[in-house]
Amino acid sequence: MKKIVILISGGGSNMQAILKSSKERGWCERFNAEVTCVISNTEDAKGLQIAKDFGVDTCVVAHTNYKSEENPRLAFDQELIKVIDQHTPYLVVLAGFMRILTPHFVEHYAGRLINIHPSLLPAFTGLHTHARAIEMGCKFAGVTVHRVTAELDHGPILDQAIVPVLAGDTAQTLAARVLSQEHIIYPKAIERLLGLENVQ
């Protein structure tokens, strides 16, 4: 069984797209795969209920519980690893997980950790991608699915989708156009990875 763990922080729309696609296209059955758990770092993440509605187990590992630790980020990541490893994951999927992960975490899941980023990488790594694209006068924007490495938003690219930047676009209108493509390419990228002999 190729087990998939999805990490979220909020509404989980990409997670929902993945779960919906796996059911409609049947790729979990085809590749003997299953989303075994959705984990959030926030207790009030709306995506947790969506996951439950799909019959997927959920868990919360709250990063705020580790503020008093000497190294809060590392302490959180170590606990997160313990929870994830209970599922022996084939893939760990970041779907709106709003935490910068430590090199220790990334190395632990090397070759199995993927992310989606709302820009055409390598352009506009980090935050505020849509506002920056508009400010720079870009004619096109988009989204990238990539493997995660220790360098933020710099892992090998698995798939991309392009959308036009229209006259009068705001960061919000552009984000909505990009998000519609995220929901298409992320499930497809996962489906392709599951079809490989080995994700690495």
- Tokens (6 digits) for 184: 């298409």
Q: What is the pLDDT of residue 196?
A: 78
Q: What is the CATH number of the domain that holds 114?
A: 3.40.50.170
The whole-number pLDDT of residue 197 equals 57
> For residues 47 and 40, is the Cβ–Cβ distance under 8 A?
yes
Q: Is 161 helix (H, G, I), strand (E, B) or coil?
A: strand
Picking from 69, 55, 67, 70, the residue whose alpha carbon sits closest to that of residue 20 is 55
Residue 13 covered by a domain: yes
Number of domains present in the structure of the chain:
1
Write out pLDDT tens, residues 31-40. Answer: 999 999 999 9
**Structural domain of residue 133, as residue ranges?**
2-194
The verdict on residue 183 lying in a domain is yes
Q: Are 9 and 98 in contact (CB under 8 A)?
A: yes
Asked if 14 contacts 118 with a C-beta cutoff of 8 angstroms, the reply is no
Q: Return d(Cα 84, Cα 180) in angstroms, integer.
A: 28
Residues of the chain under the 50 pLDDT cut: 200
Question: What is the pLDDT at residue 116?
Answer: 97
Asked if the structure places residue 116 within a domain, the reply is: yes
Write down the pTM of the prediction.
0.95
* Domain annotation covers residue 105: yes
117 as an active site residue: the answer is: yes
Q: Is residue 29 part of a domain?
A: yes
| Residues 47 and 11: beta-carbon distance below 8 Å | yes
Q: Is 199 a member of any domain? A: no
Q: Give the pLDDT confidence of 68-100 residue by residue, as tens digits.
A: 889 999 999 999 999 999 999 999 999 999 998
Whether residue 139 lies inside any domain: the answer is: yes
Q: Which of 87, 108, 117, 130 is catalytic?
A: 117
Q: Kindly state whether residue 57 falls inside one of the protein's structural domains.
A: yes
Quick one: pLDDT at residue 134?
97
